[in-house]
């Protein structure tokens, strides 16, 4: 069964450093998402991406964040200058059809900022 | 604004007992409703979904959920839980015209042997 994969599973970085979280969505999917879950809190939407551009973003997704689909398979989230409060589990998700709301999630990347 | 509430942060049940996890949503139109499960160290796995039609939906692993429009609820049930059901359960709402899912805060399920 096709699945969303994410690398790395755990990333530790120092405050102020740039990090790139990588995702490989399900191959024929067209819509891509990033969510995050701060420890003990709910899963929060960050951004959605379709047709090589951001289609929606939350207030969390400020100028420190960017997304990219550099090739036909990868989908990345970049945090330019990490802060302590960026420590969280980051989930990538993908969706196939326009009128489907069913998103398939990856296993997550745990980001720890020290 | 749309919101999802899961009133129970932590529930403990005995193996073999029945289970009901509560979910209430706030949204003006008919939402698209989901239950996801997150086992320790794992991602979010879709258990079941409701888009329209029959308000009682069946999912994987023996779970079911019932959409009650009058109560703005979408409670998850299982007649007999297994130790492997211990996990975090998230209710989520899909908003028409938007791309995002809005999640509840999750309910952690512990199973007593």
End-to-end CA distance of chain B: 41
| pLDDT level of residue B47 (50, 70, 90 thresholds) | very high
Using a 10 angstrom Cβ sphere, with 0-12 exposed, 13-18 middle and 19 or more buried, the burial of residue B89 is: buried
Q: Which of residues 61-90 of A touch B (CB under 8 A)?
A: none
**What is the rounded average pLDDT for all residues in chain A?**
93
Phi/psi of residue B62, each to 5°? Answer: 80, 10
- The residue count of chain B comes to 113
A59 in reach of chain B (CB within 8 A): no
Percent of chain A with pLDDT over 70: 98
State pLDDT tens for residues A1-15. 778 999 999 999 999
CA angle at A104 for the pair A101 and A106, rounded to the nearest 5° = 150
Residues of A in contact with B41 (CB under 8 A): 107
State pLDDT tens for residues B4-32. 999 999 999 999 999 999 999 998 777 89
Tell me which residue has tokens 């698209």: B32
Please give the Cα distance from A31 to A79 (Å, whole number).
21
């Amino acid at each position: 069964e096709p699945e969303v994969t994410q690398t790395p599973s755990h990333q530790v970085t120092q405050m102020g450093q740039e990090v790139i979280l990588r995702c490989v969505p399900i191959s024929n999917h067209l819509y891509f998402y990033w969510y995050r879950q701060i420890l003990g809190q709910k899963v929060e939407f960050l951004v959605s991406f379709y047709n090589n551009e951001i289609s929606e973003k939350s207030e969390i997704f400020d100028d420190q964040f960017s997304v990219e689909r550099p090739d036909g398979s990868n989908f990345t989230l970049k945090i330019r200058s990490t802060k302590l409060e960026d420590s969280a589990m980051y989930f990538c998700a993908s969706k196939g059809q326009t009128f489907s709301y069913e998103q398939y999630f990856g296993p997550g990347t745990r980001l720890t900022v020290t | 604004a749309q919101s999802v509430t899961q009133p129970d942060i932590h529930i403990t049940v005995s193996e073999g007992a029945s289970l009901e996890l509560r979910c209430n949503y706030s949204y003006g139109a008919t939402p698209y409703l989901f239950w996801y499960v997150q086992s320790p160290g794992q991602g979010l796995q879709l258990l079941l979904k409701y888009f329209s039609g029959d308000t009682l939906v069946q999912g994987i692993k023996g779970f079911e959920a019932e959409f009650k429009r009058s109560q703005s609820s979408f409670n998850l049930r299982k007649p007999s839980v297994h130790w492997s059901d211990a996990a975090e359960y998230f209710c989520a709402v899909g908003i028409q015209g938007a791309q995002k899912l809005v999640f509840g805060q999750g309910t952690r399920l512990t199973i007593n042997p």
